[in-house]
Structure 1
Amino acid sequence: MPPHVPMSRRGLLKLGVAATAALGATAGPASAAGVDGRFQLTAPSTSLIWKKPLYDETVLQSFAFDNQNGHIYTIQVRNGAASDAAGNLCLTKLSLTGTVLGHMYLTGFGHGVQIGVEPSGTSAYLWTETDGVSDGQTSRGSRLARFRFVSGQTLTTSSSALTKYTPVAGAQNTTCAIDPSTERLIMRYTDGSSFRYAVFPLASLKSGSPERLHDIAQPSGLGTFQGYAAYGNYVYMLTGNAYSETNPAPGNTYITCLDLRTGAQVQRAQSVAGKSLDFREPEGMGIQIVSGAPRLCLGLASGVAGARLASIFYKTEIV
């Protein structure tokens, strides 16, 4: 028998994820070992969906997963020249292969920089920004909203289907994501001077007594902000711009990882996922759980104006 060699922490994490997958665990909160780790941002990316049309023809803004029922929800500014200034959004429900399964319209909500999904039985509740404030060109939410997905429905900011939340008094430019491994909501907001991330147990928000676990600042100088996702003790931020003469392939798309407990920047790496796409604007992040193992996903918009398409790539390596 060969001599015993102590296993590194990285090896234990990988073994834990592999064992969970081997057992065929159903989609749901990830193992404690996985939650303790973070994604390796320099690891290669794999395509989940490639150049799929959404319900409307505008650019993908963000997305989130219903890991219980196997769906993707995307959000975009609704078709129409005035939609961005008015804060009118289109929410699309997709299969995991990118087939459109339904849609909703959200009137006056904001810009859709990031959304969260809370599975509920065979359906799901969406968490989005709402009560958009317009500057004449674009609209940004000032509160959070929770509502059940009902295909074909149009909601306004005064719809009775909404439950609204203001977990941080005076917050502006509010958006949110949900970490499926911890059942926590991460809210990005500005206090008027800088952007911050506040972390709440989802149950505490729904009960009306929000418990703020962490509240950290977003570093400045990262580039054009395009979305975020949280897994365990870390939040991942997506920045960058569409291809252009001043931003040629492979582009300036970066993912930055912050420790939610301390605010420290842990890692920052360029992403070249989908580098062959035309236009290729980074748009949104999400956490997918497959057989108990997590994936860090990022979205990319492509195609021409009036016929935009959505692609999603993922990373799996945990360190």
Structure 2
Amino acid sequence: MSEAMSRRGLLKAGAGFAAATAVAGVAGGRPALAEQGRFNLASPSYSILWQNKLHEVSGPQSFAFDNVNGHIYAIQVQWGNGTVERGDLVITKMTLTGTELGYMVLKGFGHGVSMAVEPVGNQAYMWTETDSQLYNGDGYGTAIARFPFQNGRTLQAREVTDKYTPVPGATIITPSIDPTLNRITVQYWRNGAKPYHYSVYNLADFKARRFDNPVYRFVEPQLGPADAVLQGWTTYREFLYVLDGNLLTGAPGNTYITCVDMRTAQVVHRSFSQAGISLDRREAEGMAIQLVNGTPRLCFGFGSGASGARRLSVFYKDAWM
């Protein structure tokens, strides 16, 4: 599939299949938010960014939207010796068409598998993992940080004053925010190992450190093959979406998106995706919810290109089950 087609957003996802329960038929029209169910993972995917250069030359890890001020933020491991082990990250701020507007360096934070943005007026607050600890050769966060984006600043993990430890002893912890419900979800390991756990909070409760009564708390069910590599996740209303796949060159790839009903902790849909299949060294990287005139999009990304010259491509789905 040509690059030009990707730029016009004419990529289609591979056919999906139900993984646990039968799925409902596709709804017509654009239902109101309160009436919407879940994204149709087998529907076509459309391009937002295509092989976009970030501030660093390393591969992207995840991204998030400032849906109020109209920006995209992407996070990647800082290029250089020891940066992966230390958990040093770089955030790039961009326009919605991918033009860089600034960057920020984070020292000792983690790996960046998921991030979130909280707009407060015209200021954007980043939510990331922090207090990185070494695991299996890479640094991963053990707490959640909130801090304002400040162009050009290098921020040390020890300098962050707004930190959260909702689950004592949790590791490999990352955040995501549902902008339609103002809920924050944290994904983490307990006892230093899989499976992934999830705790969902109203954002106001989380910021007030009221962690005892989350909206949901559940263990991730089996999504697919046991060796599937998690590459991103996000939530929309009552559903968790998880992206998995490996770095592969050429078709067909092995990227899947899975939907989990957080009320039951059951898989309700899993679908194979060939969005961006023409990318060289294509690797699934990150998920987020974008709002366009109030309409939500399920967005997911890919890194591509050779080592030292990696790029970010982002696609979305907006059809409903």
Equivalent position of 1:300 in the other structure: 302
- Aligned positions of 1:99-118 closer than 5 A: 99-118=99-118
Answer yes or no: is 1:214 the counterpart of 2:236.
no
- CA-to-aligned-CA distance 1:22-68 (integer Å, 9 cap, x gap): xxxxxxxxx2223xx10000001000010110000000000011100
Residues 222, 239 of structure 1: 8 Å contact kept: no
Give the alignment partner of residue 225 of structure 1, picking from 230, 233, 236.
230
Residues 257, 267 of structure 1: 8 Å contact kept: yes
Q: Percent identity?
A: 45
CA drift of 1:217 comes to: 1.1
The letter of the residue matching 2:201 is F
Equivalent position of 2:46 in the other structure: 46
Quick one: distance in 1 between partners of 2:62 and 2:41?
A: 19
Which ranges of structure 1 fall in alignment gaps of 5 or more residues?
A: 1-7, 18-30
SS at structure 1 position matched to 2:31: helix
CA drift of 1:11 comes to: 4.0
Quick one: distance in 1 between partners of 2:30 and 2:310?
A: 40
Residues 126, 147 of structure 2: 8 Å contact kept: yes
The letter of the residue matching 1:236 is Y
Equivalent position of 1:238 in the other structure: 243
Residues 236, 256 of structure 1: 8 Å contact kept: yes
Quick one: distance in 2 between partners of 1:33 and 1:224?
A: 33
SS at structure 2 position matched to 1:16: coil
Give the alignment partner of residue 254 of structure 1, picking from 243, 253, 256.
256
Quick one: distance in 1 between partners of 2:27 and 2:300?
A: 26
Quick one: distance in 2 between partners of 1:177 and 1:47?
A: 22
Equivalent position of 2:120 in the other structure: 120
Equivalent position of 1:163 in the other structure: 162
CA drift of 1:222 comes to: 6.4
The letter of the residue matching 1:230 is T
The letter of the residue matching 2:231 is Q
Residues 257, 273 of structure 2: 8 Å contact kept: yes
306 and 154 in structure 1: CA distance in 2 versus 1, 3 angstrom threshold: same
Quick one: distance in 2 between partners of 1:9 and 1:254?
A: 20
CA drift of 1:181 comes to: 1.1
TM-score between the two structures when normalised by the length of structure 1:
0.88
Quick one: distance in 2 between partners of 1:93 and 1:208?
A: 28
SS at structure 1 position matched to 2:241: strand
The letter of the residue matching 2:31 is G
Larger Rg: 1
How many residues in Structure 1 have an aligned counterpart in Structure 2?
Answer: 292
SS at structure 2 position matched to 1:272: coil
Which ranges of structure 2 fall in alignment gaps of 5 or more residues?
A: 1-23
- CA-to-aligned-CA distance 1:251-285 (integer Å, 9 cap, x gap): 00000110111101010001100000000000000
The letter of the residue matching 1:106 is L
Quick one: distance in 1 between partners of 2:25 and 2:167?
A: 37
Equivalent position of 1:26 in the other structure: none
Equivalent position of 2:318 in the other structure: 316
CA drift of 1:10 comes to: 5.5
Runs of 4+ in 1 over 2 A off after TM superposition: 8-12, 14-17, 219-222
Greater CA deviation, 217-226 or 52-61?
Answer: 217-226
Residues 85, 136 of structure 1: 8 Å contact kept: no
222 and 292 in structure 1: CA distance in 2 versus 1, 3 angstrom threshold: farther
Answer yes or no: is 1:16 the counterpart of 2:11.
no
78 and 249 in structure 1: CA distance in 2 versus 1, 3 angstrom threshold: same
- CA-to-aligned-CA distance 1:59-110 (integer Å, 9 cap, x gap): 0000011100110110000010211001000011011001111000000000
Equivalent position of 1:203 in the other structure: 204
Equivalent position of 1:87 in the other structure: 87
Residues 301, 313 of structure 2: 8 Å contact kept: yes
Residues 241, 258 of structure 2: 8 Å contact kept: yes
Equivalent position of 2:179 in the other structure: 180
Equivalent position of 2:34 in the other structure: 32
SS at structure 1 position matched to 2:305: strand
Residues 40, 318 of structure 1: 8 Å contact kept: yes
CA drift of 1:141 comes to: 0.4
Residues 221, 266 of structure 2: 8 Å contact kept: no
TM-score between the two structures when normalised by the length of structure 2:
0.88
